[in-house]
Amino acid sequence: MRYSVFSLIRNAFSGHTDWPAAWREPEPRAYYDTIIVGGGGHGLATAYYLAKEHGVTDLAVVEKGYLGSGNVGRNTTIIRSNYLMPANTGFYEWSLKLWEGLEQDFNFNAMVSQRGVLNLFHSDAQRDASARRGNAMRLNGVDAELLDREQVRRMVPLLDMENARFPVKGGLLQPRGGTVRHDAVAWGYARGADQRGVDLLQNCEVTGIRVQDGRVVGVETTRGFIGARRVGLACAGHSSHVAAMAGLRLPIETHVLQAFVSEGVKPVLDQVVTYGAGHFYISQSDKGGLVFGGDLDGYNSYAQRGNMPVVEEVMEMGLQLFPAFSRLRYVRQWGGVMDMSMDGSPIIDRTPIAGLYLNCGWCYGGFKATPASGWCFAWTIAKDEPHRLNAGFRLDRFATGHVIDEKGAGTTPNLH
């Protein structure tokens, strides 16, 4: 069924009780041409583009929980393409372009909202760095505007511009950045893939990867062995131990990142705003809650929950920027486990095992990458070679010295 204003009106007459399920719940078959492990944003997008762009429909997505139970439903929903390194700029800009046409493409309301992402700066040196980044973006055909103090003050009236230690000196704005309703991204891709014949297998955990003579032949799951000619891994924070099932050791550590939502209030914040003197980002959801987050907790974790010190730190940074929010109550808080790579950039590549492909290392910026990641991973699997856009995201770049380190932070996964 196609969702439209007409289907909405038609279903209103039956009290919205006759909507068909958005996707089937099939039993696993014994064999698929291709299996994607991980029903998060990246896995579902990969399945969608494999079916849509490459005609691969003998395809299953294998998910250990329910679709979207991982990070795709846990992030703070920010999308942007304000990167500096050449390997990243083209890729993230392609992602933003896919976001711009996504809802029409997969016929689902993902509430893509290009409200602008404003990165504040607080010193002359930071202004120079922002100007440099903005120039690099514009040279690559990406939108960027350097705002002075007065422009920022007019745009975000609640900001405390006069913080004694870190006064706001201006900001770098990417007007096309913004937010997207994260669950709807998983659902939209899932529905689009299902409609093209892809089997979405939920509550089906991969427990082993079978390899024969250097070639993948299928996966062991909690619902039995499933054979396949090609297997793509898109397991986010679980990449290391799933790849280890095929004997691979990855340049990845798993870390926990927390997020927070306040009670709902009337519109007070129109953009995504980030703090340049700490790590803090905030936006207001359409329901009115302020959605915000900060740094990783800093230690390896698969626990999907964090600790108090980071909660306090995030709140402190938020109140430095927006003292008025001290009167708000925060109502929800959670954590997700991130696949932090050694240089802070992702991996979309083949592996030394024939027919086994890898998509991981998204750190805490992987939501914005979802469309391009799925698009490029689908290409890489279908053609058995990377697309130009993900050619830099190689698994062997750590050995060849071609690391992509936006921050220049070195091999410190907890600092990227």
Ligand X SMILES: Cc1cc2nc3c(=O)[nH]c(=O)nc-3n(C[C@H](O)[C@H](O)[C@H](O)COP(=O)(O)OP(=O)(O)OC[C@H]3O[C@@H](n4cnc5c(N)ncnc54)[C@H](O)[C@@H]3O)c2cc1C
Q: Interface with ligand X by CB under 6 A: which residues?
A: 37-43, 62-65, 69-72, 74-78, 205-206, 234-236, 238, 242, 257-259, 293, 336, 338, 362, 364-368
Nearer to other proteins, 59 or 356 (CB): 356
Binding-site string for other proteins from residue 242 to residue 281, where x marks contact by CB under 8 A and - marks none: -------xxxxxx---------------------------
Nearer Cβ to other proteins, position 1 or 415?
A: 415
Question: What value, to the nearest 5°, has the Cα angle with vertex 167 and ends 161 and 172?
Answer: 80
Residue 192 binding: pick among ligand X, other proteins, none (C-beta 5-8 Å cut-off by kind): none
Q: Which is nearer to other proteins, 90 or 413 (CB)?
A: 413
Q: Which stretch binds other proteins (CB under 8 A): 46-54, 219-227, 294-302, 316-324?
A: 294-302
- CA distance linking residue 240 with residue 251, whole number of Å: 8
Compute CA distances 69 → 46, 78, 295, whole Å: 17, 18, 22
Applying CB under 8 A, which part among 101-109, 190-198, 206-214, 296-304 lies near other proteins?
296-304
How big is the site for other proteins, counted in residues (CB under 8 A)? 24
Please give the Cα distance from 402 to 380 (Å, whole number).
20
CA distance 178 to 285: 11
C-beta of 40: minimal distance to ligand X in Å?
2
From the CB of 341, what's the least distance to other proteins, in Å? 9
Q: Is 259 helix (H, G, I), strand (E, B) or coil?
A: strand
Output the smallest distance, CB 368 to ligand X, in A.
Answer: 4
Q: How far is the CB of 307 from other proteins (least distance, A)?
A: 5
Q: Which is nearer to other proteins, 179 or 240 (CB)?
A: 240
What does 259 interact with, of ligand X, other proteins, none (CB < 5 to 8 A by kind)? ligand X
Among 398, 405, 406, 409, binds other proteins (CB under 8 A): 398
Residue 81: partners with Cβ closer than 8 Å, 6 or more residues away: 89, 92, 93, 95, 96, 137, 142, 174, 176, 177, 368
Q: Which residues pair with 219 in a beta bridge?
A: 209, 226
For other proteins, the closer CB: 47 or 235? 235
Comparing every residue's Cβ against ligand X, the nearest one is 40
Residue showing tokens 């626990």 = 303
Q: How far is CA 387 from the centre of its chain?
A: 19
Residue 33 C-beta: closest distance to other proteins, Å: 30
Give, to the nearest 10 degrees, the angle between helix 182-195 and helix 86-106: 70
Nearest distance from C-beta of residue 301 to other proteins, angstroms = 5
414 counts as binding other proteins under rule CB under 8 A: yes
d(CA 301, CA 253): 9
Q: Which bin fits 45, alpha (ψ -120 to 50), beta or left (φ > 0)?
A: alpha
Q: Which is nearer to other proteins, 110 or 252 (CB)?
A: 252
User: Which of 151, 203, 300, 333 touches other proteins (CB under 8 A)?
Assistant: 300
Binding partner selected for residue 234 from ligand X, other proteins, none, CB under the kind-specific 5 to 8 Å limit: ligand X
59 Cβ contact list (under 8 Å, min separation 6)? 32, 33, 34, 35, 36, 47, 50, 51, 193, 197, 198, 199
Q: Which does residue 31 bind out of other proteins, ligand X, none, counting CB within 5 to 8 angstroms by kind?
A: none
What Cα–Cα distance (Å) separates residue 162 from each residue in 30, 297, 314, 323, 409?
A: 65, 29, 20, 11, 30
* b/e per residue 393-409 (b: at least 16 CB within 10 A): bbbebbeeeebbbbeee
Residues 309-328 within binding reach of other proteins (CB under 8 A): 309
- Cβ pair 152, 118 in contact under 8 A: yes
For other proteins, the closer of residues 252 and 376 by Cβ is 252
Cα–Cα distances in angstroms (integers) from residue 401 to residues 34, 56, 396, 410, in the given order = 32, 35, 9, 12
Q: Which partner in other proteins, ligand X, none is near 19 (CB below 5 to 8 A by kind)? A: none
Q: In whole angstroms, how close is the CB of 219 to other proteins at the nearest point?
A: 18
Contact residues for other proteins, defined by CB under 8 A: 238, 240-241, 249-254, 298-303, 307-309, 342, 398-399, 411, 413-414
